[in-house]
């Protein structure tokens, strides 16, 4: 698994290591307060093979191995949204570490939406399965660093951004890497208009803020290796979907046209019923096995 570290630039700046998951293109993060060595794990993947229905913890274990090698103490297990293309490892990580798991408060609304698609009323309970549901504007501590939560809908109706210290933001599925553009906004509850507003709020952060994205799918353009970090100023100057202060209408045309060509991720119907349980599989049945419920002909 390819990884790269972005060093701290000062006492109020986190050290950030990203781990690229080639199976889903997802980036998993370890954000560290360099003064206290307290860490947050962000958007860590529970591995899943759609062909066999088998889960494994290889990717999450690699992140834990790094944490142990670096002598870090994990204070938070964070997700930015209920992911459509990978299962979250939050429940397993909590079992290993005892740290609280958190996500945005609007996951409650996403859960109600997907209960309808799965015809499983009442099965999802985010208040049960997460320790903290963050509202827009909430703050909390990572070691000595302040973390601020920004509601960033568009990709989903409840996606959130974590702004850590004075120069890092984990912006999930809003922006793609600076040479690619932005993320899709056509999933249930998504909106390209709301994504535009979220992008404007992210790009209003200080120019030197490091933006850490959710996905990369190399090879891209002339680039063979995955990439996930660029500053606000770099996105404003070079990101093809936002360069020059693109208008709402121009952005929505680009985004909606592109989204109309995209199929559903092959893991989405499996992943949502796990992620809306905080990373837990459906309850085991009488034979001791868990079973996925997949709606036919709804999408």
Domain residue spans of the chain: 3-268
Report the pLDDT value the prediction gives residue 221, as an integer from 0 to 100: 85
CATH number of 3-268: 3.60.15.10
Report the pLDDT value the prediction gives residue 154, as an integer from 0 to 100: 97
Altogether, the residues listed in the chain come to a count of 299
Cα(161)–Cα(241) distance, integer angstroms:
19
Q: How confident is the model at residue 131 (pLDDT cuts 50, 70, 90)?
A: very high
65 Cβ contact partners less than 8 Å away, ≥ 6 residues apart: none
129 Cβ contact partners less than 8 Å away, ≥ 6 residues apart: 91, 101, 276, 277, 278, 279, 280
Angle among Cα 66, 13, 90 to the nearest 5 degrees reads 40
Six-digit token string for 46: 């529970």
- Laid out side by side, the sheet with 54-56 consists of 54-56, 45-49, 87-88
Q: Give me Rg for the CA atoms of the chain.
A: 18
Report the pLDDT value the prediction gives residue 1, as an integer from 0 to 100: 79
Q: For 142-194, how does the pLDDT look when each residue is reduced to its tens digit (9 = 90+)?
A: 999 999 999 999 999 999 999 999 999 999 999 999 999 999 999 999 999 99
Contact yes or no for 111/195 (Cβ under 8 A): no
Angle among Cα 288, 267, 278 to the nearest 5 degrees reads 60
Report the pLDDT value the prediction gives residue 200, as an integer from 0 to 100: 97
Report the pLDDT value the prediction gives residue 13, as an integer from 0 to 100: 98
Contact yes or no for 231/191 (Cβ under 8 A): no
Using alpha carbons, list the distances in angstroms from residue 111 to 128, 137, 281: 12, 22, 15
- Residue 65 CB: number of other CB atoms within 10 A? 10
Max Cα–Cα distance, the chain, nearest Å: 59
């Amino acid at each position: 698994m390819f990884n790269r570290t972005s060093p701290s630039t000062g006492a109020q700046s986190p050290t950030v290591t990203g781990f690229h998951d080639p199976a889903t293109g997802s980036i998993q993060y370890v954000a560290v307060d360099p003064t206290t060595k307290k860490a947050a794990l962000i958007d860590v993947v529970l591995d899943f093979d759609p062909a066999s229905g088998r889960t494994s913890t290889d990717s999450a274990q690699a992140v834990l191995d790094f944490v142990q090698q670096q002598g870090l103490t994990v204070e938070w297990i964070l997700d930015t949204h209920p992911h459509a293309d990978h299962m979250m490892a939050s429940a397993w990580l909590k079992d290993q570490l005892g740290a609280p798991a958190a996500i945005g408060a609007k996951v409650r609304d996403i859960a109600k939406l997907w209960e309808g698609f799965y015809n499983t009323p009442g099965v999802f309970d985010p208040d049960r399965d997460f320790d903290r549901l963050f509202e827009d504007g909430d703050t909390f501590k990572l070691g000595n660093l302040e973390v601020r939560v920004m509601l960033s809908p568009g990709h989903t109706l409840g996606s959130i951004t974590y702004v850590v210290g004075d120069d890092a933001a984990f912006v999930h599925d809003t922006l793609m890497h600076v040479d690619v553009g932005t993320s899709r906004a056509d999933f249930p509850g998504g909106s390209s208009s709301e994504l535009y507003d979220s992008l404007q709020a992210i790009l209003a952060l200080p120019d030197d803020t490091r933006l850490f994205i959710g996905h990369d799918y190399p090879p891209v353009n002339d680039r063979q290796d995955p990439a996930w970090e660029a500053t606000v100023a770099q996105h404003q100057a070079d990101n093809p979907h936002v360069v020059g202060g693109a208008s709402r209408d121009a952005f929505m045309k680009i985004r909606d046209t592109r989204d109309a060509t995209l199929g559903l991720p092959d893991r989405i119907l499996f992943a949502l019923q796990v992620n809306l349980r905080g990373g837990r599989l459906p309850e085991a049945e009488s034979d001791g096995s868990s079973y996925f419920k997949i709606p036919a002909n709804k999408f």
